[in-house]
Structure 1
Amino acid sequence: MDKFDAVVIGAGVIGLAVAASLSRRFASVLLIDRAEAIGTGISSRNSEVIHAGIYYPTGSLKARLCVEGRQRLYAYCDRRGIAVNPLGKVIVATQTEQQAQLDALLAQGWANGVTDLYPLSRRQLAEFEPALAATGGLFSPSTGIVDSHSLMLSLLAEAEEQGAIFCPHSEFIAAQAGGSGFRVELKQLGERMSIDTSYLINCAGLYATQTAARIEGLAKSFIPPLHWCKGHYFAYQGKSPFSHLIYPVPEPGLKGLGVHATLDLGGLLKFGPDTQFLTPGSQESYQVPDALRQSFLEAIFRYYPGIDIDRLVPAYAGIRPKLQGPDDSEVADFLIQGEAEHGVAGLVNLIGIESPGLTASLAIAELVCRRLPAI
């Protein structure tokens, strides 16, 4: 087949969710990725946290899609038998002056529709998580963790059950917008080929702006700069001292949520990520230098003074595609552009889809479908 109703570029969790959603509406959906399998990039290199929707500016896409996506995701996992654990999150203040930040987060969460938050006193924290050193806290019961790989496999299976086709080793080269859709140029296992599609959805993650720049008919003014931000993780060997997720108060401007403690579904404790913006033109690299151990130790020690540095070992790293640069103070929202924004019929660009993208994935997919006119 060389004519499709829709082509989705990028088979991370966002592209998979979009493909699954589109395949319920259209007869022929093609999902492509230049890698050999689904979810090899951003989607497999994160904390696997289901966020509640606390941090983001009220009314922003991040806030709205996180709250809606969290509800959709828990329901989807229950329906499809995907492992989740709503173990909850404690946001901790380690200095008295940080209490005002906790109060602001509580108000922000309520404004965003996260109405199950409640504060924890120093005494309550001592009973809740005895290993913590904190002056106060905020508890989010609806924060949890998910098996992201099982989620992605389920989305792929759902899409394929509904007739979608997944093609790995397929690199997007270019697209030309025409009167009835797009002519898309691909390179598949070294061979160039052309296909036609009515709709084109750019879910290319780290490469979303590069992909957008290769779409003829899209004005360059609609392609913002994208900043790569690397985050490293360290694992903590042995039994975890915590039974919940532990987060410090977030970094200024929400550039990151701080080096936090998360548990995976097997009970392994991980710390991370840190926030290291990469220079423009950097190549993907996922090494975790052991030299970072000291800076991690200093960050963790603020809320967990009992940490044993010998149990802290390099684990993995991820790269986040940020619209907010290292010198920007304003929080950047998701950028989801349809025809109403850029004027190209049938094209949706998703740019800067970082955290809480995993949580929001199902809600993002529904929004993309709503942005597309009927065939």
Structure 2
Amino acid sequence: MESYEADAVVIGGGVVGLAVARALVREGLGVIVVERNGRTGEETSSRNSEVIHAGIYYRTGSLKAQLCREGRDRLYNFCRDWRVPHRQCGKWIVAVEPEQVPALERLKTNAAANDVQLEWLASARHREEPALRAEAVLSSPLTGIIDAHAYIQALVADIEAGGGWVVCHTPVEQLVSEDRHHRLVLGGDAPCELRTPRVVNAAGLAAIPLAQRWEGMPASEIPRAYWSKGHYFAYSGRHPFSRLIYPLPDATGLGVHLTLDMAGQARFGPDAHWVETGDLTVPASLRERFAEAVRPWWPGLDPDRLVPAYAGIRPRIHGPDDAPADFVIQGSERHGLPGAVNLFGIESPGLTASLAIAERVRERLA
């Protein structure tokens, strides 16, 4: 088996892994990204709402709050510099009934604590979305949408321009840490061995299983993995909305909301289901459940125009009865392996925060 060396290896070719690799390449390191799938970004990175989040919902002081806000600004700048299609279209968060207004007020307070300003809309402005039924509305002007596939392509282009490599069809079959170095045995089309002083586990859904197979990684530092599946339905034909519409969040997440893609097509989702398999089918039988979730704020919805679109699975480190967990950026201060970083529980707002997460990883490996 051929053996090679690299300054750094990033395991996982989703947006976070690619952003980390880009940050390390820009430090002058020789970086290899290894991705088990046939293309980059095939899993969580391309199966989400493609929303640039403002940083509204997260616990004040948490990594999610800090890195969402920082990553949001970095991502808008990156999109402008690299001409990645995006639009700062804003979103409305709506209370449908009077008794929901206090929850909106609490959300506004939490956002302000995260240094994100939301605006109460006067009832006269509700007419900007004439199909919407709402008792009260908070506007988030910093929320936007992005073409996630174009973002992935731009990250790969920047990595390769800096001399880095992105290699697909390359699963990690063995990972051993010893003597301040890390040895990876890679499978796929060209099996080989890689040695490196720096390795980043950014494998998303596979991050925890990979850490469990990592020789030298203490089992006590590896959280339990949970998977949450979210379905999306597209809306066939024209719709009346010009911005994103979100209900109040619920116990499982942000609720079934309306997002737009760069072509203006509307889609609804995600819902949330705890799963143990990677099945990505979207049952048509969920159509009525989606319609019931949307009708309170869009009474004119035609459920027959809801079309199964796609599903995604979020890598969570909290279960259905737990409080939402924060991002985990785990370095040697926890696991004791110099030059190694684990990224656990990188779910939403992972895409928005990706460039900020990359900076944190770069700092740890400096």
Whether the 8 Å contact between 1:201 and 1:348 is mirrored in structure 2 is yes
Please show how residues 318-333 of structure 1 align to structure 2 within 5 Å.
318-328=312-322, 330-333=323-326
The separation in 2 between residues aligned to 1:124 and 1:104, in whole angstroms, is 22
The separation in 2 between residues aligned to 1:162 and 1:206, in whole angstroms, is 28
The separation in 2 between residues aligned to 1:43 and 1:225, in whole angstroms, is 21
Please state if 1:220 is matched with 2:213: no
The separation in 2 between residues aligned to 1:212 and 1:241, in whole angstroms, is 47
The separation in 2 between residues aligned to 1:224 and 1:180, in whole angstroms, is 24
SS of the residue 1:262 aligns to? strand
TM-score (structure 1 length as normaliser) = 0.95
SS of the residue 1:130 aligns to? coil
Whether the 8 Å contact between 2:94 and 2:136 is mirrored in structure 1 is yes
Please state if 1:338 is matched with 2:338: no
Please state if 1:241 is matched with 2:235: no
Counterpart for residue 98 of structure 1: 100
The separation in 2 between residues aligned to 1:339 and 1:95, in whole angstroms, is 50
The separation in 2 between residues aligned to 1:180 and 1:337, in whole angstroms, is 17
The separation in 2 between residues aligned to 1:110 and 1:13, in whole angstroms, is 28
Deviations 1:9-41 (A, max 9, x none): 000000110111111114310100111111110
Please state if 1:366 is matched with 2:359: yes
Counterpart for residue 139 of structure 2: 139
The separation in 1 between residues aligned to 2:26 and 2:181, in whole angstroms, is 20
* Percent of aligned pairs sharing the same letter: 49
**2:107 partner letter:** L
SS of the residue 2:359 aligns to? helix
Please show how residues 297-312 of structure 1 align to structure 2 within 5 Å.
297-312=291-306
The separation in 2 between residues aligned to 1:121 and 1:230, in whole angstroms, is 36
Whether the 8 Å contact between 1:88 and 1:144 is mirrored in structure 2 is yes
TM-score (structure 2 length as normaliser) = 0.97
Structure 2 residue corresponding to 1:272, chosen from 247, 262, 269: 269
Counterpart for residue 83 of structure 1: 85
The separation in 2 between residues aligned to 1:341 and 1:53, in whole angstroms, is 27
Deviations 1:109-129 (A, max 9, x none): 1110113x101244432x121
The separation in 2 between residues aligned to 1:141 and 1:75, in whole angstroms, is 16
Counterpart for residue 200 of structure 1: 199
Structure 1 runs, 4 residues or longer, greater than 6 Å off: none
Q: In angstroms, what is the RMSD of aligned CA positions?
A: 1.1
Whether the 8 Å contact between 1:245 and 1:263 is mirrored in structure 2 is yes
Whether the 8 Å contact between 1:348 and 1:368 is mirrored in structure 2 is yes
The separation in 2 between residues aligned to 1:240 and 1:142, in whole angstroms, is 23
SS of the residue 2:195 aligns to? strand
Please show how residues 144-163 of structure 1 align to structure 2 within 5 Å.
144-163=144-163
**1:269 partner letter:** A
The separation in 2 between residues aligned to 1:216 and 1:40, in whole angstroms, is 27
For structure 2, the residue ranges without an aligned partner over 5 or more in a row are: none
The separation in 2 between residues aligned to 1:80 and 1:174, in whole angstroms, is 36
Aligned residues: 364
The separation in 2 between residues aligned to 1:16 and 1:181, in whole angstroms, is 22
The separation in 1 between residues aligned to 2:362 and 2:151, in whole angstroms, is 20
SS of the residue 1:196 aligns to? strand
Whether the 8 Å contact between 2:180 and 2:337 is mirrored in structure 1 is no
Counterpart for residue 279 of structure 2: 285
Deviation at 1:68, TM superposition (A): 0.2
Whether the 8 Å contact between 1:5 and 1:26 is mirrored in structure 2 is no
Whether the 8 Å contact between 1:13 and 1:361 is mirrored in structure 2 is yes
For structure 1, the residue ranges without an aligned partner over 5 or more in a row are: none
Please state if 1:351 is matched with 2:353: no
Please show how residues 61-72 of structure 1 align to structure 2 within 5 Å.
61-72=63-74
